[in-house]
Structure 1
C-alpha cells in the first residue's frame, strides 16, 4: 500500500451488488476492496489502513488495538454492533454509519410480505405445483383463506423512520395503525398502545426495533399465544427479536396464521436454523435479509457511504456515531 496517500480498505464489498456503481472518492487515496473477509483475514487486511469500510465484518478491540493508524471506520449499514464502539471512543477512532437510505425499500418489502401471507399466495402456488387444481376439476379452488388487508389492524414495534414508513403505506391501504409500547411497561406514553394490548388487537405485527438486551426474544411463545390465530408476524428488524423455534411451533400449532421473516439469528442461516429447517411450511415466507436492498436504496446507501468518508476527510461530521 502507498505510504503517502490515505489507505481505504473495504472488507466486504460483495454486500453491495456489483451492478450498483461506485464513484471515486474526491480526495487522493489508495483503494483496496475484498468481496469477503473471514475473521482470520481481518488483521492482515487492515494493516496500514487509515479508513476501514465494513458492513458486517467484526472489528473488535483486540483487532483494532493492533492498528493504531486507523482514523475512521465507515460502516456501510445502519447497525454498528460489529464495531467495538467503546474502544473507538477511547482511542478517538471515528465511526459513521448509513441512516435513512431504506425508508422506501423496507416498508414496501413489509407490505409485500403482508399481501403474500394474508392472501396465502405462496400456499396457493405450492398447491398448483402439487396438482391440487387438476384434482379439484373446477375453474378455481379454495384450500386456504384469502383475507383483505384493508380494515385490518397493524401493530408496529419501533417508531423510527422504518416503522413510520410502514405506517404511512399501511394507512394508505386502509389499515388501522397502532404503535406498541415497550415490553413490560404497564403505562405506555401517549400515542402508544401497551405491548400486550397491541399483540392482542393486531391482525399484523411488524417489528422495527433495534436488537438490544431488552429486545432479545421480544417475541416468544408467550407473546405468540397472545396474538390472534388469524394474525401474521413480519420481522424485517433483527433476527434475535424473535425466538425462531417458538415461531415455528406457533405456525405449526395454529397459534398464528403466518410469518414473514427477512432476518435471522445467524446469517447466512443454514438448516440448523429452525426457520430454514421448516421452509416448506405454506404459511412461512423467508427472504435472505434483502428488505433493505432495492436498487434505489442501494444507490442511496453508496452515495451516503462516500459522503460520510469525504466529510470526515474534510474535517466535518456526517452520520457519526462516535
Structure 2
C-alpha cells in the first residue's frame, strides 16, 4: 500500500485533552489548526484523505484535489460538503455518529435548569452585594419554577431528542414529541407542531438544519406560544429566526432562551445574539454542548476508525 497523505484542516476543533490515535495505515499526516476558505484548495491538492469539522468543501475545492478519496468529517453535520461534487469525483464522505448521546442532552438540561431557576442572575446579584442589601436569608428578584409538571416540547425524534425526553420524564415533565411542521397524521406518538408551540413550557430543538427546518421557529410560531416557554437550541444555528427571537424576548412572548448554536459562529460584536447575550433570561454558550471530554474522544476515535475502515475496503458511516 502506498503512503497516504492525510490532511487535517481544522485540528483546533478537537480539544488538546484528547488523544488522536494515528490510523494504522502507512501515511503522512499534516495538521492545520484552522483553515480559511481561500486556503483549502492549496492545502488539499495532494491529499488522499481530508479530515475536517466545519471547513466547507465545494465543487472547486474537490476538483482541486485529484487524488482525494475520502473526506472524514469530525462531526455529524455534513451540509458544508458538496455531495454531488463528491459523487462526480468518486470521493467517499463519512461522518461521526452517536457520540453525543450524553453530552448534548446534559447540556440541554444545564441550560434549561439554569434558566428555569434564574441561576445566572442570582449568582451575579450575590457577587454584586444584593444579598447583604436584602438584609435577610433570601430574596426574590428573579423567577424560579419547577420542572416537575411542566410540558416539554421536543422537536426532533432522533437519539438526542429521545434522550432529552427521558431526562424530562425523570424530572416529572410531560413530554410531547412534535410532528413535522405542516404535516398531520404522523401517528399517536406525535403532537401537531402548532399544538406543541401552544402548550409547551419548554421547547427544545434536536433536528437537522435543512431547507424545511430553516427558521422553523419565527414570528408566527412565537405568536402561538400561550405558555411563554423557554426556547432551547443545542442543535443548529438557523433553526430559530434570531431576529424574531429578539422581538419575542423584548415583547415578553417567551420566558427566555438557551442557545449553544447561532447562525454565524463566532457571531461578531454586532450580531443579534450578541445583543441579547447579556439579558438575565438568556444564556448563550459557544457551541460546546457536544464537547465533553468523553464525547470529543469518541469523535477522534471514530475519525481514525473511518480512515482505517476505508483503507480496508469497508467504509463506515458513509454519507455519500
TM-score normalised over the length of structure 1? 0.96
Deviations, residues 241-281 of structure 1 (Å, cap 9, x unaligned): 00111111211221011110000001111122111122110
The 2-side partners of 1:37 and 1:263 are apart by: 21
Cα distance in 1, alignment partners of residues 294 and 5 from structure 2? 29
Correspondence for 1:200: 198
Match of 2:90 in 1: 92
Contact 1:229 1:254 in 2 (8 A): no
- Cα displacement (A) at 1:184: 1.5
Kindly tell me the number of residue pairs found equivalent between the two proteins: 320
Could you say which residue in structure 2 is the equivalent of 1:58?
A: 56
Query: Match of 2:125?
Result: 127
- CA–CA distance in 2 between the matches of 1:319 and 1:105? 21
Q: Is the aligned partner of 1:216 residue 2:178?
A: no
Contact 2:5–2:47 under 8 Å retained in 1 = yes
The Cα of 1:189 is off from its aligned counterpart by 2.9
Which whole-Å deviations, capped at 9, do the CAs of 1:190-245 have from their partners, x for residues lacking one?
31000010111111100011111111100112211222454101001111000111
Residue pair 2:178, 2:192 contacting (<8 A) in 1 also: yes
1:262 aligns with 2:260: yes
Contact between 2:50 and 2:70, CA under 8 Å: does it hold in 1? yes
Q: Per the alignment, in what secondary structure is the counterpart of residue 153 of structure 2?
A: strand
Matching of residues 45-84 of structure 1 within 5 Å? 45-84=43-82
Mapped partners of 1:18, 1:284: distance in 2 = 30
Name the CA distance, whole Å, in 1 between partners of 2:185 and 2:125: 46
Q: Is the 8 A contact 1:245 1:274 kept in 2?
A: yes
1:93-172 equivalent positions in 2, closer than 5 A: 93-172=91-170
Aligned to 1:42: 40
Q: Which runs of 5+ in 1 are unaligned?
A: none
> Tell me, what secondary structure is at the counterpart of 1:134?
helix
Partner of 2:29: 31
CA distance in 2, matches of 1:120, 1:221: 25
How large is the Cα RMSD of the aligned pairs?
1.3
1:18 aligns with 2:11: no
